[in-house]
Chain A
């Protein structure tokens, strides 16, 4: 028998889907800004693996020579990014739903089992509520990262007036690096997230739009009682 099982609240769905285009615009306008001084590379033991970014990447996305425009967009959408994050976080705290989200003492051990299960190494996944252990860690991390982007961003935005934030980030130079690394983190998160959503299937995806999942429930005790009655009659 099909049963509707409520999963995601309206506010969670709203902030999730609002965040997606906002973050996309923030990353894009951030690229317009970063291009003006694109000095970061990923270098290990003197070997440069990635240069952020190759010319072809810039050209394909029409990034070059748009610094002023990038700043103008970035400093508009920063408000929406912060407001949306504030809404989600305060709602999650006040409603008590953080209990479903924040990792507990079993999460780190269980997350490993979830990964093994997802990689088809282990058959059984640990039992879960709304989010499994790996999700708890990933989704909490992404919120912490968002907070990090806000703090590092403010430090870069007004480094003199907000000099305590610059200090907190380890200096202006480091604040910019953190801000950049967090952005790379979002892109990597996004890639894994989309693959996981595709693998999890339609029911899961729909729940982030409609709020509910449809599950097949086994017949309930009410039917068992009926069975007992028929048994009695048979006697």
Chain B
């Protein structure tokens, strides 16, 4: 018959005391409660609290579910409180991030022969590779225009890893290109690399992503120009695309046209549509 839970005991004691105060005004000396009255009293308190707390929980849920969307900006289309949580989660998971945490790599034979591709936004149709230039906006206002041959002269890095799409599928694929960090060093963009973010856009500016600098400088992040040891076909982002294994596919922009640097978040196609800005893995 003894209740072993001190917290419960304490709470019921407090509640019974209060109730006694309320009910004992016009009564004589207190009597020991009968078992029947104890039962109904405790039922009243527990079921009452259950209903009140349940109602409050339901109200809280309705508040969240019907909460207005954030004001469209760099991010958009998410419930305002949920966007705040996504941003707070980013702060937590950035603590886990390290450039020493490498993505698992696989032997060449395991790479998919037919590489999946999901979207052509900003990279549909053909492109004149010979006239294509990568525009890099430097801090001093200078604009670098770099052709694909110049990029192919840099040390080549290959990676065979499990590409992960935000939709949930994953595929082992084989990419070749120049490490983003090598690219930065070669073109003397060290001052730019001190910014917090890199922005990348397709030549027509239809698709665009923002990537935090640590992820961009990760040793496995590539500006890729090859898939399965052949030049990128148009649908995989010819002539140059981003392969960033520490992010979901949505950040792996195809057909890079413009690269910018900034301390605030660059605009990001999917972050505007309710997805997490960080999208890190």
- Interface on A for B, CB 8 Å cutoff? 1-6, 9-11, 17, 21, 25, 33-34, 36-37, 39, 67-69, 71-73, 75-76, 157-163, 166, 172-173, 176, 206, 209-212, 214
Contacts and interface: CB of A to CB of B under 8 A. Distances in A.
Contacts of B7: 9-11
Given A2-B39, A73-B82, A9 B4 contact: yes
Interface string B29-61: 000000110110011011100100110010001
Q: Is the interface of A mostly helix, strand, loop or mixed?
A: helix
A26 to B, nearest CB: 13
B275 interface: yes
28 contacts: A4-B38, A6-B3, A25-B61, A39-B169, A68-B77, A68-B273, A68-B275, A71-B276, A72-B83, A72-B86, A72-B276, A73-B82, A76-B81, A157-B93, A158-B280, A159-B164, A159-B281, A160-B246, A160-B281, A161-B96, A161-B98, A162-B96, A166-B104, A172-B162, A172-B164, A172-B170, A209-B47, A210-B46
B1 interface: yes
Given A172-B164, A212-B39, 4 more contacts: A5-B1, A37-B169, A68-B275, A212-B42
Q: Please provide the 8 A-B residue pairs with the shortest distance between their CB atoms, ordered closest to farther.
A: A37-B168, A68-B274, A210-B46, A72-B82, A36-B167, A10-B8, A9-B5, A161-B96
Nearest to B270: A68
B82 A158 contact: no
B212 to A, nearest CB: 13
Given A75-B86, A160-B103, A37 B3 contact: no
Nearest to A159: B281
A9 B9 CA distance: 10
A12 B86 CA distance: 30
B4 A75 contact: no
Nearest to B7: A10
Nearest to B275: A68
Contacts of A1: 35
Interface string B164-178: 111111100000000
Contact of A69 (B35, B42, B162, B274): B274
Interface of B: 1-5, 7-8, 11, 35-36, 38-39, 42-43, 45-47, 50, 53-54, 57, 61, 77-79, 81-83, 85-86, 89, 93, 96-98, 101-104, 162, 164-170, 245-246, 270, 273-276, 280-281
B259 to A, nearest CB: 23
Contacts of B79: 69, 72
Contact of B50 (A4, A17, A75): A17
Given A68-B78, A160-B101, A161-B281, A37 B46 contact: no
B275 A6 contact: no
A172 B162 CA distance: 9
Contact of B39 (A17, A68, A172, A214): A214
B168 A36 contact: yes
Nearest to B57: A21
A2 B276 CA distance: 58
B42 A210 contact: yes
